Structure 1
């Protein structure tokens, strides 16, 4: 059993990934990575760190502070809807940018698991990964909030309007697509081309994932690092990115829509 577990946990570097040796090309890839994350999740991580520092400097403890994820953007319902949809478009574009840059670099999207040949298998794997992370993740959040290391996270404070549920589902899908494509598929593939080891790439990817959740507190940071380690290693082993997108989308959909529906009806929900 121990040997099987070690074999499953060990990364499987795929064939066909070119290690770039030309100094000029290596510099170009490095600049590309910096630019991509300077306008996407790297920037989000820096803002998230500032948000956490601001929360720590307030007199009340973290557990007595709150932060909302999906919030109203305008007083008029239809304008608010337009704002929400533009946010989804931005996330889809972020993920699309990562996929396009890999494609332009000569990497087949099917090689990272963005093809439609294993829909059933990807969905089944996604359900398993969602269960593996979702339930323990909720328990971890409640514990970290109870000990004062996490803010109270409100997945949605959108008004009860007709478009709330569809927009929350779209937001969940947009988040999952952008994060898994950029932080796992794009970043680890590019680091492979620069000669990074699988473990080193996985660690950087996971810490990056945790960084842009720092606004939630230390629990959000640590919990998302763990999520990144599990999801990233699964991808390194199986190269099925759609499975990660499905798992992440399911977790966020349950959190966003479930919170919106149950808020006020369940005593322990803020």
Structure 2
């Protein structure tokens, strides 16, 4: 066990793939505030709303395990064309922080003087086969145990029933749910991992602190589902964070997350249309 721990520590040691650190206190404060502000307009805001949501659920007269959390809902179910516009606008607005994160990495205290922001965090097509294989492997590693943990959390009453897809029965529901899954994957993995890991390492945080903090925030913005969603996503964050720390590539994480959400969203809608609920 000790030898294995030393091996893991060596894998997370200094590397020529680390971002350029910032030495001055002013620069460190600049990057620290930058991360706070970007989180404030993206996943950090989601974490705040999620905490309020779980408080609201816990203060109802209905047990948490008997409540339902609805996701991907129709905005105007009686007007499908307008509903489609709402859904596409929501997905587009959701991924704006991804573009902002890449812009900041490319223009403010750059982590590398020679490599572009997207390529530095591994959001590119230089290793498509390897990224796909890694993404599929991570999806299998996380998905099946995650589904079992979800049912366990529901059974013991610490999680709500998650209704993952609630769009009206229209031809574009599956494509929109797929786009929503990809949007989720991009914002969570690019911002939560690629961007934050880079900035926090530039500030001087150790890998365990970086991975742990990111995983904790990831779990927090899933609290609206219940404590099972929180715990499951903390574990997912630890796994994906460790993989990124080793590979310095965010693309396998995006592939993994997109696959998990596509199966959850489109699969749920498919089963729901046939009268099957889980």
2:92 matched residue in structure 1: 89
Q: Does the aligned pair in 2 maintain the 1:48–1:211 contact within 8 Å?
A: yes
Structure 1 residue 67, shift from structure 2 partner: 0.7
Distance 1:122 1:37 in 2: 26
Residue correspondence of structure 1 range 61-140 to structure 2 within 5 A? 61-75=63-77, 76-105=79-108, 106-107=110-111, 108=116, 109-140=118-149
Q: Could you tell me how far 1:14 is from its partner in structure 2?
A: 3.3
Structure 2 residue 222 is matched with structure 1 residue 213: yes
Alignment of 1:180-191 (within 5 A): 180-191=189-200
Change (3 A) 1:23 1:4: closer
Q: Indicate if the aligned counterparts of 1:13 and 1:236 stay in contact, CA closer than 8 A.
A: no
1:236 to 245, 253, 272: 245
Which string of whole-angstrom CA distances, capped at 9 and with x for unpartnered residues, describes residues 159-214 of structure 1? 11011000000000000001000000111110001100000011110001001100
Deviation at 1:6, TM superposition (A): 5.5
Separation in structure 2 between the aligned mates of residue 7 and residue 112 of structure 1, nearest angstrom = 23
Specify every segment of 5 or more residues in structure 1 that has no aligned partner in the other structure, as ranges: none
TM-score for both structures, normalised by structure 2: 0.92
Quote the offset at 1:2 in angstroms. 7.3
Q: What is the CA RMSD across the aligned residues, in angstroms?
A: 1.7
Structure 2 unmatched ranges of 5 or more? none
The alpha-carbon deviation at position 27 of structure 1 amounts to 1.5
Offset of residue 266 of structure 1: 6.2
Deviating 4+ runs (over 4 angstroms) = none
Alpha carbons of 1:12 and 1:166: their partners in 2 closer, same or farther (altered >3 Å)? Answer: farther
Cα separation, 1, equivalents of 2:56 and 2:186: 29
CA distance in 1, matches of 2:158, 2:14: 37
Q: State how far apart, in whole Å, the 1-side matches of 2:121 and 2:46 are.
A: 25
